[in-house]
A and B are shown apart, each in its own frame.
Chain A
């Protein structure tokens, strides 16, 4: 916690910031203030606008309107150089470090500190050591980055900012990649920083951490600030409610339905991520016929590993995937198709579709062998009529099978991919982020199709970062946090607050999953 012996002053202030991207208003007249010597948390879900706001402060994006003040003076920030000059530093989720360089090389890279062409590594290393000692950030200047654990790499990023005399340090989801121990060390560092007069903004969705470390917290939702409170005066419940509560804009027509037999079962699935840490930590889930099981959670808590594990696109280090009684853990894509397990991947442009080919060639991806004549030629007339059927049934525009898939709008491309899988008449479908980046009209169409499939008796596993989507479509909701299922609830019985708490790692429902 900050120790301020001076009256808190607004060191950095953002007023009425507006930022529009095509199709979405990322920041809607946002006010945000950081005092010196405080740790200020910026809380919100994916798409709330918090990262955009900070990127504007750091000069990576230009703002459409509004002003930025430093110590009460309005300032121009046209690029990161300006921000750095004003004492603002930012550490992104993806570290901006050159893995093959040493710590000191990374720190001085790009700095025009002296006009001498020869770099003085010893001098820089000495200065770095002094900073290390002053702030309690242990890091050997001559260590190579790729040999260092993530926690230490983060310290290097912080040192980089301090070396450039940053007063304000913005950390974007800093604990996303840290173990609990590393997180504790980070918090010690942060407290040390503010005790020396620096200010810190941490952008996060983790409630317990906010309560543990921050002085104030500002909550954003849908591009607006919905609250700004002193942490000590608030509670997890209030924060959760502010974070997820929303006016529901879209509503899907769904009639209740009794689910049938268990179709897809995940038993104790474990997956390691690229760095060797557990991305999935023993997942148990069951999806039944005629039900939609929604997986809710903030992006980065294991969802993409989950889809990859089920479809055997990612190596599983433990557990089984059982489909209709058969073990399909190591099955090939061909086998999945044969057994009736379909998949709609999250990346529609780079994995789900072939953007340089026309619609008809995309329509048969995964099942092209069914459209081959005995001579080994692609049966163009059957492919054409199949594509036309698909186009008409799913309302794809433009409706010419020869149209390039890459030119389709996001919504139409999603319809193509979903339609292709649906037309295979599968028994189960794993769907990842189906409406990411789509407009309202397209969302409704995609939702209607997913519900229709559920009504037709398919088992559907829906992975989505959009809570609205989860609530509208799912019969049951499972929340994933940090690679584990926090709980599974019937949608009808679920409250936004409870889900929010689970998404933030706060609540766990006993028994997890099993039936």
Chain B
């Protein structure tokens, strides 16, 4: 076998894993982009992802259909984030504190639900998953084919969602109002926009998206549930939002970079490079730190991000 062949096999394996792994980050980041654009930093997406994961697992096991599991997960994500939105917007509690505590709560609820749902059943049960679909013709293209066109339906839907998100954010009245609420709530309010409504919408969107991301982890990647299934990907999604400059398409690019970092450590492990596996596992997190450290220059976040708003 030629070296070029080995390399291209490596490349294909790495990049198609990268594409797959980037989806949950992208989904959560898309939703969080809406929340942060409206002025709210929703750290609770980590916990919401967990809730989405457990819901999709239990419901899919019970119903046999991953679609029903997916919808149930989105519903739970919305419900949980109604509470979060209330805490952020009406109670005006510190957004970081509420998010962190919510993540602890979500872990408790997840653990409880798992016990309640699985009860005495012995051994891990595999849930129905979304199987990869090979797009005819396109998936036969060498190199690019397997990387981009041989994924589950959720992958394709997510990419479509990026386009939808971009359209909604920049080309609709709703998007304009949402962005105004996050840039200058005083001016927006003076123009007749309801800051409360916009921020609730932003948080709910981030909740539904994060829950879907959690469902993806179960229904596309593993088919099982473990409490460590999210392991900080919600937090990494926060970095994706910032790295992606609060823009859906750039977030897709950023998510791919993070996914590639994650996939790299998987591939490198396979190839038995002499580095401790834990170092490779740390790569996504280290990349995030570098991205967030401020060493890469100042970022232009929505001006009113993390500020609470009170009608004068």
B92-114 CB contact bits vs A (8 Å, 1 = yes)? Answer: 00000000000000000000000
Q: What 0/1 pattern do residues 144 to 187 of B give for CB contact below 8 A with A? A: 00000000000000000000000000011110110110011011
Proximity string of chain A (110-130) to chain B, C-beta cutoff 8 Å, 1 when within and 0 when not: 111000111101000000000
CB distance from A204 to the nearest CB of B (A): 21
**Complex contacts, A452 vs chain B, CB 8 Å:** none
A101 contacts B by Cβ under 8 Å: yes
| Whole-angstrom distance between the Cβ of A370 and the nearest chain B Cβ | 35
Alpha-carbon gap, A121 to B184, bound state (A): 20
A111→B173 CA distance, assembly (Å): 9
Q: Are B183 and A117 in contact (CB under 8 A)?
A: no
Cβ contact within 8 Å between B180 and A98: yes
Q: Is the CB of B172 within 8 A of A117?
A: yes
| Proximity string of chain B (180-224) to chain A, C-beta cutoff 8 Å, 1 when within and 0 when not | 100110111011110000000000000000000000000000000
Bound Cα distance A98, B190 (Å): 11
In the complex, the answer to whether B190 meets A80 with C-beta atoms within 8 Å is yes
- Find out whether the CB atom of B171 lies under 8 angstroms from the CB atom of A98: no
Cβ of A349 < 8 Å from any Cβ of B?
Answer: no
Report Cα–Cα, A187/B173, bound state, in Å: 34
Q: A117-B174, A118-B173 are in contact. Are A98 and B192 (CB under 8 A)?
A: no
The answer to whether A118 and B172 touch across the interface, beta carbons within 8 angstroms, is yes
Q: Which single residue of chain B is at the shortest CB-CB distance from A58?
A: B190
A110 and B172: CB pair below 8 A? no
Instruction: For B174, give the chain A residue with the smallest CB separation.
Output: A117
Name the interface residues of A66-121: CB closer than 8 Å to any CB of B: 80-81, 95-101, 105, 108-112, 116-119, 121
Whether B172 lies near A100 (C-beta < 8 A) is no
- Least CB distance from A11 to B in Å reads 23
The answer to whether A110 and B179 touch across the interface, beta carbons within 8 angstroms, is no
A99 and B303 within 8 A (CB): yes
The docked-state distance in angstroms from the alpha carbon of A98 to that of B176 is 11
Contact A110 B193 (CB under 8 A): yes
Given known A-B contacts A96-B187, A97-B187, A98-B184, A109 and B172 have beta carbons under 8 A apart: no
CA distance A96 to B183 in the complex (A): 11
Given A98-B183, A117-B173, A119-B172, also A109-B303 (CB < 8 A): no
Given A99-B303, A100-B303, decide whether A110 and B188 contact each other with a Cβ distance below 8 A.
Answer: yes
A80 to B311, CA, bound (A): 14
B177, B179, B186: the one within 8 Å of A96 (CB):
B186
CB pair B173 A119 closer than 8 Å: yes
Of all chain B residues, the one with the shortest Cβ separation from A108 is: B176
Chain B contacts for A96, CB-based, 8 A: 184, 186-187, 190-191
Of A81, A95, A100, which is within 8 A of B192 by CB? Answer: A81
Nearest B-chain residue to A90, judged by Cβ: B190
Contact A118 B171 (CB under 8 A): yes
List B contacts of A121 (CB < 8 A).
171
Interface membership of chain A positions 282-294, coded 1 if the CB is closer than 8 angstroms to chain B and 0 otherwise:
0000000000000
Of B171, B188, B300, the contact of A109 (CB 8 Å cutoff) = B188
Contact indicator A119/B183 (Cβ below 8 Å): no
Q: Give the tally of cross-chain contacts (CB within 8 A).
A: 57
Known: A99-B303, A117-B173. A80 touches B179 (CB 8 A): no
B186 to chain A: closest residue by CB: A96
Interface residues of A in 109-167 (CB under 8 A from B): 109-112, 116-119, 121
**B192 contacts A105, C-beta separation under 8 Å:** no
Tell me which residues across on chain A come within 8 A of B190, comparing CB atoms. Answer: 80, 96
CB A61 to nearest CB in B, in angstroms, measures: 10
Question: In whole Å, how far is A158's beta carbon from the nearest beta carbon of chain B?
Answer: 15
Q: Report whether A110 and B183 are in contact in the complex, using a CB–CB cutoff of 8 Å.
A: no
**Which of chain A's residues has its CB closest to B185's CB?**
A98
CB distance from B255 to the nearest CB of A (A): 23
In the assembled complex, the Cα of A95 lies from the Cα of B191 at a distance in Å of: 12
Are A110 and B191 touching (Cβ within 8 A)?
yes
Assess whether B173 is in contact with A101, with CB atoms less than 8 Å apart: no
Partner of B176, one of A81, A97, A112, A119: A119
* List of A residues within 8 angstroms of B176 by Cβ: 101, 105, 108-109, 119
Q: Which residues of B contact A116 (CB under 8 A)?
A: 173
Taking CB atoms, residues of chain A closer than 8 Å to B177 are 109-110
Tell me, in angstroms, the Cα distance from A25 to B6 when the chains sit together. 84
Q: Are A110 and B184 in contact (CB under 8 A)?
A: no
> Could you tell me if B183 and A100 are in contact, using CB atoms closer than 8 angstroms?
yes
> How far is the CB of A371 from the nearest CB of chain B, in Å?
33
Q: Which residues of chain A come closer than 8 Å to B300, judged between CB atoms?
A: 100
CB closest residue in chain A, given B302: A100
- Bound Cα distance A101, B179 (Å): 9
Distance in angstroms between the alpha carbons of A475 and B189 in the assembled complex: 47
Proximity bits, B272-298, A CB within 8 Å = 1, else 0: 000000000000000000000000000
CA distance A109 to B184 in the complex (A): 12
Residues of chain A within 8 A (CB-CB) of B303 are: 99-100
Q: Which residues of B contact A105 (CB under 8 A)?
A: 176
Q: Which residues from chain A contact B173 at a C-beta distance below 8 Å?
A: 116-119
Inter-subunit contact B193/A109 (CB<8 Å): yes
A81 to B191, CA, bound (A): 9
* Beta-carbon contact of A101 and B180 below 8 Å: yes
Complex CA–CA separation, A95 to B192 (angstroms):
15
- Cβ-neighbour of B187 out of A98, A111, A118, A119 (below 8 A): A98
Residues of chain A with a CB closer than 8 A to B174's CB: 117
Question: Most A CB atoms within 10 A — which of B171, B183, B191, B193?
Answer: B191
Within the assembled complex, what's the spacing in Å between the Cα atoms of A458 and B171?
Answer: 64
Q: List chain A residues, Cβ under 8 A from B188.
A: 98, 109-110
| Chain B residue with the shortest CB-CB distance to A95 | B187
Distance between Cα atoms of A80 and B192 in the complex (Å): 8
Interchain nearest-CB distance for A409 vs B (Å): 23
Which residues from chain B contact A95 at a C-beta distance below 8 Å? Answer: 187
Residue of B nearest to A116 (CB): B173
Q: How far is the CA of A83 from the CA of B172 in the complex (A)?
A: 26
CA gap between A121 and B173 in the complex, in Å: 10
A360 to B125, CA, bound (A): 65
Closest to A117 in B: B172
Which residues of A are interface residues toward B (Cβ below 8 A)? 80-81, 95-101, 105, 108-112, 116-119, 121
A96-B187, A101-B183, A109-B176 known; 9 other A-B pairs, CB under 8 Å?
A95-B187, A97-B187, A98-B188, A108-B176, A109-B188, A111-B192, A117-B173, A117-B174, A119-B172
> Can you pick out 13 interface pairs between chain A and chain B where the beta carbons lie within 8 Å of each other?
A81-B192, A96-B187, A96-B190, A96-B191, A97-B187, A98-B179, A100-B300, A109-B188, A110-B192, A112-B192, A117-B174, A118-B171, A121-B171
3 nearest A-B pairs in the assembled complex, by CB-CB distance: A110-B191, A96-B187, A110-B192
